[in-house]
Chains A and B, each alone.
Chain A
Amino acid sequence: MSEVLTFKLILVFSIFGVTLLIAMYSTYLERKVAAFIQDRVGPDRAGPFGLLQPLADGVKMFMKEEIIPNVSNKFLFIVGPCVAMLTAIMAGVVIPWGGTLTINGTQYNLQIADLNIGILYIFGVVSIGVYGIMIGGWASNNKFSLLGAIRASAQMISYELAMGLSIIALIMITGTLSLQEIAAQQGGGVGSDWNMWNIVYQPIGFMIFIICAFAECNRMPFDLPETETELVGGYHTEYSSMKLGFYLFAEYINMFTSSAVMATLYFGGYNIPFINDLGLDPNVATILGTVFFFMKIGFFIFFFMWIRWTLPRFRYDQLMNLGWKILIPLAIANVAVTGLVMILMD
């Protein structure tokens, strides 16, 4: 028992560290990708290839003067970024980061907690995440912040609906809410247990999900809560120093988590096609699977950045029209068609 507990503790800390590390280097990657797309060099002063740039940025964030506006609600002003960061980190608990490791005959699952309501847990955490933005925006006592907060709440609620509906079709196919089981169902090699990734069965569902993920993370082309051309800085206009850093960091962690969720739900999670046919040691296969999982996540993070520097920002009415008039009916139709096909296949 205590061995399992120790393992879980190590897992918790390593995932916490990896999440922060990836979020840190996402800022670097974002600038490098932007530079690549715009035919520039990007950050290259700090360290080789500018690799120490995130550290320099972090030090800068900590060293800057911290300003709390006089007219703000001081307690809530501090609570806002804390909630944003907390909820961003919490979502990683239910994601299966790999298969099972066997050490000294004991099996260890590379997942912190296998809840049988895994997806719902993530939805719950995401729906709480909006409070960070709303509280921060309101407590700043600034009209631009308030507008950003109001936009964020309306946008998140609208896109959560479409996101939930797009998941329903997937759950109908898999028959479970547990992320561990969904990932395990997509594994397998050639032969009797031949299984495709869920993207093959649910391409429309995946499209809706990824669009909603962009909106939930406040990423381009849906970054309306922080449009710098309209709202100065949106909900974090009044924030400075590391509190601003927390908001920016939370956005990158959300991006990382939603990439992990997308990879788990639609792209096979930690599974590598045909890995079972190579006859590798199970432990080696598990570690390879985890590496492969992080490669998938890396691709999705790159995709997020690619879209950011490719598409222009939506107007707010266009955002609402897309969410309510296109994505939600499409998601409902997807659920109906999936149900029909399932009945016909039986």
Chain B
Amino acid sequence: MTLYAFYFISFLAVLSALMVVFSRNPIHSVLYLVITFFCVACHYLLLNAQFLAAVHVIVYAGAIMVLFLYVIMLLNLNKDDESQKSNLWKAGAVITSGLLLVVFVGALRGAEAESVSFASSNNTGLVKNLGRLLFNEFLLPFEIVSILLLAAMVGAVMLGKTHMKRAKEIAHEKNGRGSVASARGIGNIKELTK
């Protein structure tokens, strides 16, 4: 039963992953990628890692892909204004991704299948065990990853801030005094509506 489920989900995952690459419409690509993420979450479920599956769906399918879709909808990409890449670029892309595939295959060939035992404990993926592992054995890497995320967040805020400042300056140069007055007006409205 589990084996058949595994084959079915794997087939679906590979198929949708291929469709991500082959579909012409970027929105369709994103939706296929969402299906791929679902299949990966199902694989986690088969390994009895419920927490990981739920978080995978919430973070990847629920948040990151929604943002992708959001950006693509705003940009409104379609076939007509998609920039055509030259053959040199295409060849380069094929070679680099082929090399990556070779690296993956090599790494998988070297791995020993026996070293991972799933049957020994069925509860490894449950929240309590995962939490214990994360906050005892792997506390330092966990904290370092959170600092990395914080750095990315601060960077995004910094970029947004300079952009906002520049936009305000441009508006000021364009409109002169009027913009100051209107800005004050907006401030007053904001205070009133608080």
Contacts and interface: CB of A to CB of B under 8 A. Distances in A.
Nearest to B186: A317
A127 B63 contact: yes
A157 B63 contact: yes
Interface string A90-131: 000000000000000000000000011100110110111011
B66 A131 contact: yes
A121 B50 CA distance: 9
Interface string B78-96: 0000000000000000000
Interface in B30-82: 31, 34, 50-51, 54-55, 57-58, 61-63, 66-67, 69-70, 73-74
Contact of B54 (A120, A130, A131): A120
A76 B30 CA distance: 13
A160 B50 contact: no
Nearest to A135: B31
A124 B66 contact: no
Contacts of B66: 127, 130-131, 134, 153, 156-157
Contact of B61 (A120, A121, A128, A157): A128
Contacts of B193: 315, 318
Interface in A156-213: 156-157, 160, 177
A330 interface: no
A294 interface: no
B61 A115 contact: no
Contact of A120 (B27, B34, B58, B74): B58
Contacts of A124: 54, 57-58, 61-62
B126 interface: yes
A87 B193 CA distance: 36
B61 to A, nearest CB: 6
A333 B34 CA distance: 33
Interface string B118-141: 000000001100000000000000
Given A116-B50, A135-B31, A138-B27, A160 B55 contact: no
Contact of B58 (A76, A127, A154, A156): A127
Nearest to A149: B73
17 contacts: A115-B50, A116-B50, A116-B126, A120-B54, A121-B54, A123-B54, A126-B62, A127-B62, A128-B62, A131-B34, A134-B73, A153-B66, A153-B67, A153-B70, A156-B66, A157-B63, A318-B193
